[in-house]
């Protein structure tokens, strides 16, 4: 399995967003954080901007909804051209129904787990999702310190995916850099979200390549 890098535009310059997306053309997808000032304390961007992002980039758009009521709003974001839509365990009322609705519309369905949440509740419905996102920071703000205690969840999830012969991806978001990439890859994550480590670098494209190379060398299938 190949490591995929998803730079988060939360760390980009929103005034020069198209320029900053072109700077990551060697990435595998672009990660777009949507925050509503309710589910998380921050407020980012909404449907019109996500729609325009989908129109101007050649990369698959990975929309991460940190919002209340994703059962209502996730299908709307799927219509904008996203390749995948992630919603949170603590926000949805009917995760399986929502995942099936997203998949039926041709969009990958992804489930996110915050640091204080267990993965026990998703093991029985794991095959309903294309990707599970393990948060290695508290959702809401970029630039936080990587929580390595979340790797136990990642390893356990990878073991379960392998045991059952599933093709579910494991994404890790929060504090990912060239130094932490080997840790998350060794635990079994194959999709790495990196924000400040990419956009804070002098050469974002080189930072992406460095993270991918170091992760690939340590990946545990």
Catalytic residue list: 33, 173
**Cβ(178)–Cβ(210) under 8 Å?**
yes
Separation between Cα atoms, residue 197 and residue 211, nearest integer Å? 9
User: Rounded CA gap, 111 and 93, in Å?
Assistant: 13
**Residues sharing a CB contact under 8 Å with residue 112, sequence separation 6 or more, in sequence order:** 64, 66, 86, 87, 88, 89, 132, 133, 135, 139, 173
Please give the radius of gyration of the chain, using alpha carbons only, rounded to the nearest integer.
16
Q: Please give the DSSP secondary-structure letter assigned to residue 38.
A: S
From the list 39, 112, 110, the residue with the least C-alpha distance to 78 is: 110
Pairing of strands 4-7, 61-66: unpaired
Please state, in angstroms and as integers, the Cα–Cα distance from residue 129 to each residue in 10, 21, 35, 64, following that order. 24, 27, 22, 14
For 42, which DSSP code?
A: -
């Amino acid at each position: 399995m190949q490591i995929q890098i998803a730079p988060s535009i939360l760390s980009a310059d929103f005034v020069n967003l198209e320029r900053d997306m072109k700077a990551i053309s060697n990435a595998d997808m672009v990660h777009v954080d949507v925050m509503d000032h309710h589910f998380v304390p921050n407020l980012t961007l909404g449907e019109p901007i996500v729609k325009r992002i989908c129109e101007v980039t050649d990369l698959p758009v990975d929309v991460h909804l940190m919002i209340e009521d994703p059962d209502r709003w996730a299908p709307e974001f799927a219509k904008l051209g996203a390749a995948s839509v992630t919603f949170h365990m603590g926000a949805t009322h009917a995760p399986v129904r929502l995942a099936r609705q997203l998949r039926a519309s041709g969009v990958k369905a992804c489930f996110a787990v915050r640091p204080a949440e267990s993965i026990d509740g998703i093991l029985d419905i794991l095959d309903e999702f294309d990707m599970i996102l393990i948060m290695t920071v508290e959702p809401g703000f970029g630039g936080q310190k990587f929580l390595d205690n979340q790797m136990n969840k990642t390893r356990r999830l990878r073991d379960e995916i392998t045991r059952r012969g599933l093709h579910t991806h494991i994404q890790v978001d929060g504090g990912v850099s060239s130094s932490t990439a080997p840790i998350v890859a060794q635990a079994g994550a194959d999709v790495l979200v990196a924000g400040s480590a990419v956009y804070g670098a002098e050469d974002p494209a080189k930072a992406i390549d460095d993270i991918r190379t170091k992760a690939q060398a340590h990946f545990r299938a």
